[in-house]
């Protein structure tokens, strides 16, 4: 009898062990969840609540994952950190570990620790800017309309998150208006992350409650407290039960079933325009997307090499149909300008917006004519491969003007007055130097569509920009040659100021593309994304920080 009971005891022991290991579902918390008799309300009650019922002194405590983001998975955000800050091998290791993370639970203690360790271990703390340059774009694309409306009804907000503070703080403060962010801190040693978070559960008091007391938002005296309102998930309600049950006047709980019905926040409702962002990945790196990307890479590298070879050796009219079979798409629209009617002794000046490093190359192929381009700096790798003439500028206005005039006397010239690339549907301020050179100005409107990788970067290896562009399965380039600027609208024949001419060309390109014209400059972009002005030819690590063909 004892022998027959042994297998059943072993089975019961293993069953209990597996059940403890698996992530808890919502039903696991039902006994701890508050009921409707205990402050629980749907967030829809808050969205349709009259603004007059909310006071300026009300303090909102919201959970980023539970109250704002639609996706139940945290893996894509850690994959972005692993890929952009750590490289391909680190991201591959994180992907291979995902089955274990899934079993343990992405939002459970052990599964979260594994993703944090693999994503951050050995990353240099000083140069980490992913939280400000890469993640906000993907956070905004994951924001739900209903949750966003509920959170933005409050002027004073305190945000919480399961992810480390360095990942979420910039987004929660800049886009959601949080005055305080409560999240785990990462330990570091000698300027490098250890991939280990501070154990916030080791304190006897709720860390969120401690933060609110430090800011004097809540006190032990109930009549001195601000009115605290919470928007959170049922799990977070249980984790911070002391705070929500003793200090919160209202709690709005967001359940998974309700969140699945949320709509995506439209771009025109973003709290502030998303103009600049960095990183190589153009897709949301979910586990299945990462697997598809890894399966594509071996074939993609071969196709990329073929695209380079055909593009360099064959003329555009011959290579374009062949490259179309590889997935590339290039559309060219010619308007009614006369390519042969430039001033005597000078070439045509083609002024275009800047989308990738190979903009002048595409213009040359589309014209089926040789052109020159100007650049502030160019990596040696790209300089050797470039099939067109690229001249370096010195950032001296008079000297640069002389060089560009000399190039115009020798033939056609392409300039990108934005000075740097912009991925989103915006145009940066045009530098007006080009307007002084000639009255034969042709605006060229460019647009690029990619599905997997961005062919531009502000802080990465610029020499790989063309490689990443042609590594996409179906990259597309749209080129529109607009009508030549009327002489009455130029500096020489029309007497216009160079700034008026630059603004006019910018507006014409913006109308053709449907882009918004802005006053942001190259300096703004690099200060936001790379922490420098984008002037130095190389960074401390030896990588070029600017390689755009522009002025």
- pLDDT for the residue numbered 547: 36
40-269: which CATH number, 1.10.3470, 1.10.10, 3.40.1350, 3.40.50?
3.40.50
Residue 265 CA to residue 219 CA, distance in Å, equals 36
- pLDDT for the residue numbered 346: 79
Residue 267 CA to residue 261 CA, distance in Å, equals 19
Query: Comparing C-alpha atoms, which of 461, 472, 481, 459 is closest to residue 534?
Result: 459
DSSP 325: T
Residue 145 CA to residue 149 CA, distance in Å, equals 6
502: tokens are: 């630059």
- pLDDT for the residue numbered 310: 86
Residue 415 CA to residue 418 CA, distance in Å, equals 9
- pLDDT for the residue numbered 491: 86
Domain with CATH 3.40.50 in the chain: 40-269
Q: Which helix (H) or strand (E) holds 12?
A: helix 2-21
335: tokens are: 């308007």
- pLDDT for the residue numbered 168: 96
- pLDDT for the residue numbered 288: 95
Residue 39 CA to residue 213 CA, distance in Å, equals 22
- pLDDT for the residue numbered 506: 96
Residue 82 CA to residue 295 CA, distance in Å, equals 18
Residue 98 CA to residue 89 CA, distance in Å, equals 14
For every one of its 551 residues, what pLDDT tens digit does the chain have, with 9 covering 90 and above? 445 555 555 455 455 544 444 444 333 333 344 444 344 565 555 554 545 455 666 788 899 998 899 999 999 999 999 999 999 999 999 999 999 999 998 888 899 999 999 999 999 999 899 999 999 999 999 999 989 988 988 888 889 899 999 999 999 999 999 988 988 899 999 999 999 987 654 455 666 777 777 766 666 554 555 678 888 887 777 766 666 666 777 778 888 888 888 999 999 999 999 999 999 999 999 999 999 999 999 999 999 999 988 887 887 778 888 888 889 998 999 876 555 455 566 789 999 999 998 899 899 888 888 898 887 766 666 666 677 888 777 777 888 888 889 889 888 999 999 988 999 999 999 999 999 888 899 999 999 999 999 999 988 888 889 999 999 999 999 999 999 998 888 887 778 899 999 999 999 999 999 999 999 998 889 888 877 766 544 433 334 333 333 33
- pLDDT for the residue numbered 309: 87
- pLDDT for the residue numbered 336: 64
- pLDDT for the residue numbered 259: 87
Residue 495 CA to residue 22 CA, distance in Å, equals 75
φ, ψ of residue 511 in degrees (nearest 5): -65, -40
- pLDDT for the residue numbered 474: 93
- pLDDT for the residue numbered 45: 55
- Determine the 3-state secondary structure of 142 from DSSP: coil
């Amino acid at each position: 009898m004892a022998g027959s009971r042994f297998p059943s005891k072993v089975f019961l022991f293993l069953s209990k062990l597996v059940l403890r290991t698996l992530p808890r579902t919502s039903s696991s918390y039902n006994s701890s969840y508050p009921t409707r008799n205990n402050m629980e309300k749907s967030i829809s009650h808050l969205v349709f609540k009259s603004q007059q019922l909310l006071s300026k002194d009300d303090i909102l405590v919201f959970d980023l994952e539970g109250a704002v983001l639609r996706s139940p998975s945290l893996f894509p955000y850690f994959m972005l950190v692993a890929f952009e800050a750590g490289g391909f091998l680190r991201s591959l290791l994180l992907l291979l570990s995902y089955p274990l993370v899934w079993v343990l639970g992405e939002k459970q203690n052990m599964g979260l620790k594994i993703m944090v360790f693999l994503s951050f271990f050995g990353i240099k703390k000083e140069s980490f800017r992913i939280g400000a340059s890469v993640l906000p774009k993907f956070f905004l694309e994951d924001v739900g309309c209903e949750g966003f409306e509920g959170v933005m009804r409050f002027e004073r907000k305190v945000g919480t998150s399961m992810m480390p503070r360095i990942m979420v703080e910039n987004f929660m403060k800049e886009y959601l208006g949080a005055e305080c962010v409560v999240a785990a801190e990462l330990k570091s040693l000698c300027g490098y992350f250890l991939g280990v978070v501070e154990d916030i559960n080791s304190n006897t008091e709720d860390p969120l409650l401690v933060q609110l007391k430090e800011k004097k938002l809540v006190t032990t005296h109930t009549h001195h407290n601000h009115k605290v309102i919470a928007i959170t998930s049922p799990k977070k309600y249980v984790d911070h039960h002391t705070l929500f049950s003793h200090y919160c006047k209202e709690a709005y709980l967001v359940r998974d079933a309700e969140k699945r019905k949320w709509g995506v926040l439209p771009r025109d409702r973003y709290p502030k325009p998303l103009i600049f962002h960095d990183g190589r990945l153009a897709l949301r790196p979910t586990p299945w997307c990462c697997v598809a990307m890894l399966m594509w890479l071996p074939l993609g590298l071969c196709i990329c090499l073929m695209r380079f070879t055909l593009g360099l050796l064959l003329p555009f009219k011959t290579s374009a149909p062949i490259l179309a079979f590889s997935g590339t798409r290039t559309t060219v629209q010619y308007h009614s300008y006369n390519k042969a009617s430039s001033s005597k002794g000078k070439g045509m000046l083609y002024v275009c917006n800047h989308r990738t490093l190979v903009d002048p190359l595409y213009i040359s192929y589309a014209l089926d004519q040789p052109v020159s381009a100007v650049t502030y700096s160019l990596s040696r790798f790209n300089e050797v491969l470039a099939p067109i003439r690229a001249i370096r500028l010195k950032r001296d206005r008079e000297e640069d003007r002389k060089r560009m005039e000399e190039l115009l006397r020798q033939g056609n010239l392409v300039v990108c007055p934005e000075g740097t690339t912009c991925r989103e549907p915006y145009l940066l301020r045009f530098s007006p130097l080009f307007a002084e050179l000639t009255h034969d100005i042709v605006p060229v409107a460019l647009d690029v569509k990619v599905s997997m990788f961005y062919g531009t970067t502000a802080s990465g290896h610029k020499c790989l920009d063309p490689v990443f562009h042609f590594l996409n399965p179906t990259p597309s380039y749209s080129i529109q040659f607009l009508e030549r600027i009327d002489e009455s609208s130029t500096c020489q024949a029309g007497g216009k100021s160079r700034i008026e001419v630059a603004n006019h060309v910018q507006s014409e390109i913006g109308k053709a593309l449907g882009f918004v014209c802005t006053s942001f400059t190259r300096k703004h972009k690099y200060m936001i994304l790379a922490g420098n002005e984008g002037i130095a030819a190389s960074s401390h690590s030896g990588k070029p920080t600017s390689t755009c063909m522009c002025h």
